[in-house]
Amino acid sequence: MPHYSGFAPKPARIAKIIARSGLCSRREAEQRIAEGRVAVNGEILDTPARNVESGDRITVDGRPLPPPVPVKLWRYHKPKGQVTTHRDPEGRPTVFDSLGPELPRVISVGRLDITTEGLLLLTTNGGLARHLELPSTGWLRRYRVRANGKVNEKDFEKLQSGITIEAIRYGPIEARIDRVQGSNCWLTMGLREGKNREIKRVLEHLGLSVNRLIRVSYGPFLLGGLKAGQCEEIKPRIVVQQLGPKVAAELGLSRTASLAGTKGRRPRS
């Protein structure tokens, strides 16, 4: 049976290693552990509080854990009408159904709901997805919003300090009125947390009804001219530059970038 052999030279938490293999996200790995579907050296785990080392035998649903895949990141322009899930019980079109066969198994960095369009980041690495999703990473997610109703600039100014709605606290939100067209207005909004339906709930609280929502950037990564349904890989060296060398090394990205940089080069004589 194959042994675990990852990028990390030191012991690491089991859920982190499963995510690094590209099998699923870290959160999903923790769920599988709780369901008794993960074993290390034949021992079924009931907690993710377990470190594994190179040489440990890891199985998920009785099958050996696949070896770590190269850490990659893509930009995808999600169209309206797709759900961000691998399997939809209602049979609706999913983001992952629309991807070409040339892509390996990927997971999304966060989600966009079925009516939201725009930039969705996809990766082969659950650890990278988790890092990019964390509010502590501090990356701004920027949206273009079309909403119906009367706008009030003073209300938007108050959002910069955050707002509490029905006992839910939303962090600081940037909001700018771009133009007003009859009963509709176009806004640009930026936030760093991304709670479920955050923009729609905040604007509803201000008396506005969102009828179009487009994510145009996620941190330094831009939607740009990417067409709806189009997917484009972000070069590993660019991802490393944006994450910084320490985080990139922890996620195995430095190794991926190094391998990519050597492709096509002739060996020195």
Each residue's pLDDT tens digit, 97-110? 999 888 888 999 98
**In this model, does residue 180 exceed pLDDT 60?**
yes
* Residue whose token pair is 């890092």: 131
Can you tell me the distance from the alpha carbon of 269 to that of 262, in angstroms, rounded to the nearest whole number?
15
**In this model, does residue 175 exceed pLDDT 60?**
yes
Can you tell me the distance from the alpha carbon of 96 to that of 103, in angstroms, rounded to the nearest whole number?
10
At residue 105, the pLDDT reads 85
Strands 174-181 and 117-123: unpaired
- Catalytic residue from among 97, 113, 155, 178: 113
- Top mean pLDDT of 101-110, 138-147, 244-253 is at 138-147
- Top mean pLDDT of 89-103, 121-135, 222-236 is at 222-236
Supply the pTM of this predicted model: 0.78
Provide the 3-class DSSP secondary structure of residue 37: coil
Contact residues for 160 (Cβ-Cβ < 8 A; gap 6+) = 172, 173, 174, 175
At residue 254, the pLDDT reads 65
Higher pLDDT, 257 or 202: 202
**In this model, does residue 115 exceed pLDDT 50?**
yes
Residue 256's pLDDT band, with cuts at 50, 70 and 90, is low
- Describe the chain by its helix, strand, coil percentages, rounded to 5: 25, 30, 45
Half-sphere exposure of 193 (CA within 13 A, CB side): 14
In order of 72, 124, 234, 255, 258, the CA distances from 237 in angstroms are: 10, 16, 9, 10, 8
Q: Which two tokens mark 223? A: 């939607």
* Residue whose token pair is 């201000």: 206
- Reported as type and span, the H/E element at residue 231 is strand 231-234
Q: Do the Cβ atoms of 237 and 220 come closer than 8 Å? A: no
Cβ atoms within 10 Å, residue 69? 17
How much is the average pLDDT of 233-251?
A: 90
Contact residues for 192 (Cβ-Cβ < 8 A; gap 6+) = 135, 138, 139, 140, 141, 171, 172
Domains of the chain and CATH, by start: 12-64 (3.10.290.10), 73-135+222-261 (3.30.70.580), 142-217 (3.30.70.1560)
**In this model, does residue 265 exceed pLDDT 80?**
no
**In this model, does residue 5 exceed pLDDT 80?**
no
Burial class of 132 by CB neighbour count within 10 A (0 to 12, 13 to 18, 19+): buried
Burial class of 59 by CB neighbour count within 10 A (0 to 12, 13 to 18, 19+): middle
Residue 201's pLDDT band, with cuts at 50, 70 and 90, is very high
Reply yes or no on whether 113 is catalytic. Answer: yes
Instruction: Give the percent of the chain with pLDDT over 70.
Output: 91
Distance of CA 229 to the CA centre of its chain: 17
Residue 267's pLDDT band, with cuts at 50, 70 and 90, is very low
The DSSP 8-state label assigned to residue 211 in this structure reads E
Instruction: Give the percent of the chain with pLDDT over 90.
Output: 62
